[in-house]
Every structure is written in C-alpha cells, then in structure tokens.
Structure 1
C-alpha cells in the first residue's frame, strides 16, 4: 500500500449513474481541500453515486465504491483481481496503478498484486510471523521502542509526533521482525522517509528508494542463506523463515522473497504511522473521549483502549482506499455494471462512515461495540499485519497518554496539512507540546 502522485488539479468525475443533468453536481475529489476533510464528499457519493466512475489525478479512470455493503462485497469478490495484468490500461496509464518503482525493481510478486493460488501459497509462508502468539511475544520490544522514542523528546516539552514518534516506531519494529540488523535500520528509515515524502509527488524519488531497498534485501537474503543454521531457532526472523521455507520445497523464488520482505516493510509501516498520527490527532481534538481513555488507563483497564483503537481505525483510519482491484469479467456492484479490465477502488473511509451500517457514524465513540469496520480490509486480502499494527497502536497511544498526560496540539488544527495521495490518509506533521519530563 502506498501513496500515489500529488492530487494537483481536481480529478474529473465522469459517468455518475445516479446523477441527472439537473441534479446536484458531484464534489471535486482529490484536491488539497478534499484531502483535509474528504468525508462530506464521500457522504455525497454514498447518497448520489455510490459506485462512481472518476478520472484520478494520475489519468487513470476507476470506479469508487463508497457504501459499506457494496464495499464488503467488492473486497471479497473473486471476479476482482489484484493482478495489474488484468487492467485494460491505456498507454498514458501504464505503470500508474501500483507502487512507484516496483515494476522496474522486479518487486511485483507480493501479496498486494497476486491472486490464488500464488497468493494462498505466499500468505501461508508469511502468516506464521503474525500469529497472536508471535505478536504477543513481540510486545515487550514494541514497548521498549515506544519508551525509547518518547525518552528522546520528553525533556524538550515539544515534538513533532509524526517525525519523532509515529514514523520511526513501526519502521524499527518491522525491521526487527524481518531480521534487518540494527546497524542497517537507519538506512531503511531513510528509504521509507523518501517514500512517504515523495509518494505524493515525483515518482522518481520513490523509485530510487525502492531500487535501493531491493538491492539491500537481495544482499541480506544471500547473507542470511549462507549463515542459516541447519535447524530452525526459536523466534526466527521472518526473512530467515522465508529462506528456510524456500529451501524446503515451498518454491519461493529469490525475487518472491525480496518482494515479500519489501511489501511487509512498505505496507507494514505507513499504515501504523497513520494509525498513530490520525489516532492521536482525533483524541486531541475530542477532549471528552481522550479524558475517558486516560481515566481508564490510570485505573489499569485495557478494554476501552482496545475498543478505542478499533473506533479510531473506523473514524479516521490510516488507509483511505483499499489497494487496486481489476475486473476480470463483467460484474455488477451496487447496481452499476463494471466492464472487464476496469479498475475498482473500494473507499474504506466512506464505507466506515456509512449510516446504513454504523449509528452516528460521524461521531467518535471509543466504547463503540458493533464495530466491524473495514479498516484492514475483508476477505482473503485482509491485512496480514493487522495484529501487529493494533499492538503498536495500542502501545503507542497508551504510553503517550500516560507519560505525557497534558499533551496538546501546538498549532491550530487549520494549520495542519495532510499528505496528498490516493491510498493512504495521514498528516504531514503533528506538532504537540506538553510539560517536559526530567529524569
């Protein structure tokens, strides 16, 4: 999952099946104003054009699915392929539906771009790294990373929570899980930073970072294969596990191993950056909900933290649109006919505020119970790293609120800027201030 080019001029809305020449005009999509608060536009689409054909800033034309029931259907529909080979793309749209640079770097064979049976095989190989038991074993390391990052700025009384906290935490966590040596992890942080900074702009910077990351991963795979012991060891890192599976007949090619490591790093960090950033911002701008959560944490309770993170995922989640799907044959979604080769983008942010599914969907309620949000997808492509992201989100928010209890925004909300893009939703910066902590 990655950002797409900067929105630039407003995307053009075309072919809205539910509109009429005298009906209300469709809202402008993918402008900077839209990025700040897309929810009114999504509400309009749900009401007037729930399956809406639009021209994206990249020039690609795609269907946007905005209602919860339709979104859930589309996410699980096997007639919608993840393989870009099914895209009937015109020449001007070549290579604009995936992660910049992944084609040239030969990193296409990962879970976001393939279907069964290859998807089933690769997901089985990597899923053991994200079992509840494995994630629980990783919890102390996540807490250690969280405390260490807060220690670095606690005495200053101010911080940019994106740059100083939300960004490095998941990078270091996923590097540890993959088995990237500590001395190399800052390189990964730099490459990932380039992807986030330029994912909404020129694709060249992202492509160069992807190329560097691929070269490093191939080298690391070679090194680990030479050093791998004959028998598995407890807590074995994920790259070693992928190598071992390949060497024991699972037919995992070297490019597949590199692509899997790449997408786990790439998809596994930006979602969590935005979960922490968007979640903290939502709490800071909803003081009653934030006070409820702080009181429960002070009392040693975790239930509201758990339901609260799920609500933050629903209310303003890190993934605005699910990654690309392409129709392999004619199908109908929400009464709209979709032609073979057409791209389909499920708008998770719109579906998760559908009043037909959620009571008071525009209200943040940390104790919300009936909360089957689609923030991590649905069906066979449900996010593999969701348990780890939830752990990181819960740990980060709980530690921030307990160690920095008077945390508050250091700027007006109107001064904050959201990163332009298509798939992800996240803040560029989150300046905060608090009473300095001195050892």
Structure 2
C-alpha cells in the first residue's frame, strides 16, 4: 500500500469516527433520529492557454452535513470545520431548527431493512501523484499538438484535473460506511476561422488516470471537431429525421431521468406521470443500470441514504420498469426507495448495432446534431425546443455544417420515435449510449 493509500485509509477511519461523534451528539441533544454525510477531497486543477499556465489550484477541503429528526420534524445544518467543537455546534443548530419546523409525515431516515449490507469494493480510487509540473506539461502538450493542425487559429485552453477523496455516510440505524473515490480529466478547447470563428472541444474523464485517452487523441478530436464547423450556415425551416451525436445523446436521456425521478413525480410535474409499466420507448430498447461496475463513473455500493444499490432494468422492451425514488419521495408516493438518493448509477442503453456512418446512411437526408444550447425543456409537458448546431446530411453523407437553428418536438413522442441507437458509445458519461436517431423533428431555420 502506497503512502497516499495509507493516508486515505486513515482518513476513512477518522471520518467514520467523526460521523459517529455527530450521531452521538444528536442523540444527546434530544433528536430521535439523525443522519450524517461527510466528505473530504484533495486535488489539483491546472489550466493553460496558448501553452502558458493560466491557473493552478490545489485544494484540500471537507464538509459535514447533518439532518436530525424529532419525530417527523427535521432540521439541517452543515460545517466545513471538522473539529469536534464545530461538529457539536452544527448538531445543535440542526436540533434548534428541528424544534421550529412543521411536522412532515414523509420525513425520516430510509427504512433500516434497506441499508446496505454488501459493501462491494468497486475499484473507485486511483489517486495520481499531484505533480503540478507534470500536469502543466500534459496540458501544454495537448494544446501544442492541437495547434499543429492547419486552420486552428488559437487554443482557448487545456485543463487537467485530478482529485481523490473519501465519502462516509451514517445514520442512527447503526449504519456507518464509506469508501474512497478518485476522478481525473483532461480537456482541450480550440478556436478556428477568421470572420466567422468557431469553437469546439474534446475531453476525457476516468476514475483511473491511466484510463484517460492519450493527449494526442484528445487534441486531434478537438481540432477535427473545430475545423469541421467552419463555414457553418443556416438551413430552411423543415421537418426531417434528426441524429443526436453520442456527445449529446446522453443529455437527451438526462431529461428522461428527471421525468421518472420521485421529486417531479410526487409534485405531479412530469410528463411521465403514471407511466410505470407503460411503453415509453420502442420495444427493442432496454436501459440497464449497473451500480457495481468496476471503475464506473456512476458506481456506488449504496446511495446517499445508505440504501443498498442494485443492478436493475430501468426500461425493458421499451416498458418503464421503475421510478427513481429517494425514501422521502417513496413515502410521498406510497412506494419503496429504489436507492437513487444522489442520482442514477451507470446506465447501459441498448443499441441497434450500427456505427454512426451506418446511421447516417439509413437516415438519408436530415440533421446530425453535435451541440445543444439553451434550457428549452419543459419536464411537466415534455415540450422540447433547443438551439442546436451540427451538420446537414444529404443521401447519407455529411454535406455542410449548420448553426443558428432550433430543434423542437415533444419528449414523449421523441422517445417513442427512436428508430435506432448507434454502437458509438460516449465513455465520459454515466449514461452509456451511442448516437440516437429520431425519425422526425421540426427544425426552425431561415
């Protein structure tokens, strides 16, 4: 075990002790139940511009959050000072708040029987040496290589981030568990063109620094994407098939995550109300969630309430199999927590086997979307309208780049009208999906 790993192991034990202390204080001060989450992170962020250092930040910080319950009255407090005196003050503040809050029948800890008992080692912590000079060199080399591409006018910066830390959660059921994590990334943003300048980027994210893509590959992708956008033009308003590139396809499914999340459902502010067991996608499509994927960006042995995570089908043969519920949302809806406090875990979306080139050929003429802008999505109605950029496709081939357009539809219909999903998966996202082809959408242009 390396010195850094020994330090992380010691920190994990110290944070467990701090959580136990906070829980004991909550009980001493009169709470009936309490839950505590605590995290500590160490890392470095480096950015360069035109191969010169722009920012260099080291960080080492931590925070503790506590929720106490007096029956079904709840109080919250937090502190970034992890000394025992500060923790006691935070607990006291939470208790004081709980005294004056109203009773909420849905408030409380997740049920004891749902607490995680199988704390798997998911290989989520691979700390890299925090060597500023080395990271500056990586960022500069990435820019330097990108700038060798003819037509690239300037770099808008490259960055390298490397962080590792520990997260611990405990509650008055007697559950106290934690695990270490790490996250590393490299990115590069480039500018091309004279009168009509264009900008694009490429990046790589991984739990293990050694699993990041090579800087030459990142630089080449950023340059190719930026140069391909030169001489973009508008198109006439039309209704055509739309292919969402893998880089933006995950975001399309991110709206689905929101629509089946408990908070929106119990407030009755989702276009997928009462959709459980209903057909929401084509019958060939499945979405499988695997929280136990080794080195997965969305992996976790338990959620933010200590509930055991489980591999499950979210969508099977196009049918919605489950909502995404915290314990609070579950009580509001008369259901059971699904272990999604804190968000989703690794989603694997089935594909129809084609490469993106094959999808373009099957599309014939239409729009390939590579960038989306704006927040024009209404989760209550499913109405979808966003600024977009990408490429016009003719006879299955990319004809020219397109910008300053808007694509519009309704998510409920868009999901039903998915005709194919490519095998070209985005490795930088907890939603693993390829490019998504929808048979028809409105394009607002000239």
TM-score, structure 1 length as denominator? Answer: 0.25
Structure in which a larger fraction of residues adopt helix: 1
Higher relative contact order (Cα pairs below 8 Å, separated by 6+ residues): 1
Structure in which a larger fraction of residues adopt strand: 2
